[in-house]
A = this chain, B = another copy of it.
């Protein structure tokens, strides 16, 4: 009897300790991951100065979101504000410095998803919105729709009081040169529009995205993605970035994901949601689910790119099948990782 009593007390103590431990975890385990695009990013093609610029920009962007999370702010706000920094930087293919379409101007795509409400918003083919991710969030919050496009997206953003800019704002000299190079390459190689056998140089000029996923102190996940899409794109092409399930997905049950890479393959494999489904339906860990989608599903179809993902415990994955992906991670303890190349 004495023994049973003793064991019961121990069990009670251990239970309450577990409970406290869990609650402690729940309150404190937050984290944020950002990416600035995956692709043929090679050390030998990168000057030290350029590399430093990228690392500093990633650091600045992730610290903004991390500060919000540390102060008890929402993952939604952290994702928006970190992406805004990347959109405003001419280094990345989103907002200012976005790649140019075949007519020489930027067409911007972005999407956002809230893991608690499972609400989502997106804009595609916007031409005047300074910060497309903020417009995606406004679509989610202040319209009955998930996805707006073209002029309609610009009009809605303007009605919502977001900053509207002239199309020249987005254009940089670097992207103009990229467009010229890609057009020349297409003419020289007589590339036919239905051939996807782009060479490495060509691919390195085509893509790029920015994205952010975060878990806040309240246990809520959020994901966002913003991009200018493909250099020299035609026919108002829409890639994976503004598509919920392909470029962006968040669900408090599982994880938050933002994709980057050759968008067509991410659409066909429903990449972002696929990672969540592998976790929810097959109990895969976030690293295994991300690796399976990037290397197995996308890789086997001939696609390439990467994802960042964070689960509802704060575990993260930064998976790619390309030589590099601009990326950074900060956890609850404030430990910062900034990486560019695959093997570093």
Contacts and interface: CB of A to CB of B under 8 A. Distances in A.
- The DSSP consensus for interface residues of chain A is mixed
A117 B274 CA distance: 18
Interface in A240-291: 243-246, 249, 263-264, 267-270, 273-274, 277-278, 281-282
The range of chain A's interface size is: 35 or more
A15 interface: no
A141 interface: yes
Contacts of A236: 148-153
Contacts of A282: 281-282
Contacts of A263: 146
A150 B147 contact: no
Copies in the complex: 2
A159 B281 CA distance: 43
Nearest to A297: B118
Contacts of A281: 277-278, 281-282
Contacts of A235: 143, 145, 148-149, 152-153, 155-156
Interface of A: 113, 118-120, 124-125, 141-153, 155-156, 193-196, 233-239, 243-246, 249, 263-264, 267-270, 273-274, 277-278, 281-282, 301
